Amino acid sequence: MSLPLRTVSGMRPTGPLHLGHYFGAIKNWVALQDEMQCLYFVADWHALTSEFEDPQRIREFVPELVKDWIVSGLDPEKCVIFQQSMVKEHAELTLLLSMITPVSWLERNPTYKEQQQEITTKDLSNFGFLGYPVLMAADILMYRPKWVPVGQDQLPHLELTREIARRFNSLYGGYFPEPEARLTPAAKCPGLDGRKMSKSYGNSIMLREPLEEIAPKVRGMFTDKNRLRRSDPGNPSVCNLYPYHELMTDAATREEICKGCTSATFGCVDCKKIFMQSLARFLEPLHERRAELEKNPDFVQDVLSDGNKRARVVARETMEGVRERIGFNFKE
């Protein structure tokens, strides 16, 4: 870990990863591994803020998430992969930051308001869920990064992190750099039905899904709604399938697709066949790597144990500085 800058990011272990996660976040995480010291963690405490009634599910998804990361290209030799709840310093820092975080900041948080309104199937009136951004601020500030690779949806949380850092610095003396968002270059990866790709909409292609199971879903997928007959010319810029070609099909083939589609010499069925080929080229190596990983049942645990240790070294150092600044560095 001799690279000059450090970055940190996390994901909640709430389900298998899909293409939207890959193109929206992980691809960027993989690229960053060669640029700076990267710490990526499984945010299992964050998952617990809303899934506390079913913690067993979180437990199952922890190793699955790590497998999805590794098959996608995160390399435990290059980055630190760890589990949030195994680095207890995150809890202590959350507690200390909670002292200086006004409740009004949390109540104003747009994600909080939105989820409280939209998710009616779960009870989200708990203290931990309101405090979600404080835990997230602790996750980030612990590693004193300059940048944090996050999606657009996490910007309000990052802004709160910066406000909390500022408050800490002004109360106790400058300590935390204010981290900036490093937005993932916007990758358009809609769901199969044109809405956002999301596990809860059932419109996703999972990274670990066998191609035979994906094929019928692709056959039923929306394309250009205005192209009703094979003889109608289509328009790739309003087509729901075309963005996938932009992510996975080479430029020369894309050109052919566009020509064929706009001149109606080429149908949506043909286009979907090419897409299945592109998808196979993309997913098959991931599936092969997953099969390799499954052969070694200890591997994921070893990666996490090693990552937890490495994260703790940084976390302990940060906490010493934090306690010292607050004057809570008591002797035993």
Among 24, 139, 304, 322, binds ligand TRP (CB under 6 A): 139
Among 136, 189, 221, 319, binds ligand TRP (CB under 6 A): 136
Rounded least distance, CB 272 to ligand TRP, Å: 31
- In three-state secondary structure terms, 137 is helix
| Rounded least distance, CB 8 to ligand TRP, Å | 6
**Which stretches within the chain are classed as H helix?**
19-21, 27-32, 44-51, 55-72, 89-99, 103-108, 110-118, 127-130, 132-141, 155-172, 211-219, 242-248, 251-262, 268-295, 299-326
> Taking CB under 6 A as the rule, which mask of x and - marks residues 44-63 in contact with ligand TRP?
--x-----------------
Q: Does 6 bind ligand TRP (CB under 6 A)?
A: no
Strand order through the sheet with 80-83: 80-83, 37-42, 6-11, 147-150, 180-183
Q: By CB under 6 A, is residue 17 in contact with ligand TRP?
A: no
CA distance 274 to 271: 5
CA 260/CA 233 separation, integer angstroms: 9
Residue 128: count other Cβ atoms within 10 Å of its Cβ: 16
Task: List the one residue out of 23, 16, 70, 21 whose CA is nearest residue 245.
Answer: 23
User: By rule CB under 6 A, what string of x and - marks binding of each residue 91-130 to ligand TRP?
Assistant: ----------------------------------------
Least gap, CB of 306 to ligand TRP (angstroms): 20
Q: Does 68 bind ligand TRP (CB under 6 A)?
A: no
Question: Considering the complex, what minimum distance in angstroms separates the CB of residue 128 from ligand TRP?
Answer: 13
Residue closer to ligand TRP by CB (options 8, 239) is 8
Min dist CB 227 to ligand TRP, Å, is 36
Q: Could you tell me the smallest distance in angstroms from the CB atom of residue 264 to ligand TRP?
A: 42
Closest distance of CB 18 from ligand TRP, Å: 14
Nearer to ligand TRP among residue 161 and residue 223 (C-beta): 161
Amino acid at 306: D
Structure tokens at 80: 């630190």
Taking phi over 0 as left and psi of -120 to 50 as alpha, with beta for the rest, 3 belongs to beta
Which residues are bridge partners to 180 per DSSP?
A: 147
Given 9, 83, 101, 278, the residue binding ligand TRP (CB under 6 A): 9
Span of 4-12, 48-56, 182-190, 321-329 interacting with ligand TRP by CB under 6 A: 4-12
Nearest distance from residue 137's CB to ligand TRP, in Å? 8
- The 3-state DSSP class for residue 83 equals strand
Report the 10 Å Cβ neighbour count for 163. Answer: 17
Distance between CA atoms of residues 76 and 306, nearest Å: 9
Residue 238, classed as helix, strand or coil, is helix
Q: Which stretch binds ligand TRP (CB under 6 A): 146-154, 196-204, 260-268, 285-293?
A: 146-154
57 or 230, CB closer to ligand TRP? Answer: 57
Nearer to ligand TRP, 152 or 237 (CB): 152
Q: Does 12 bind ligand TRP (CB under 6 A)?
A: yes
Alpha-carbon dihedral angle through residues 233, 212, 282, 298, given to the nearest 10 degrees = 160
The residues binding ligand TRP (CB under 6 A) are: 8-12, 43, 46, 136, 139-140, 148, 150, 154, 157
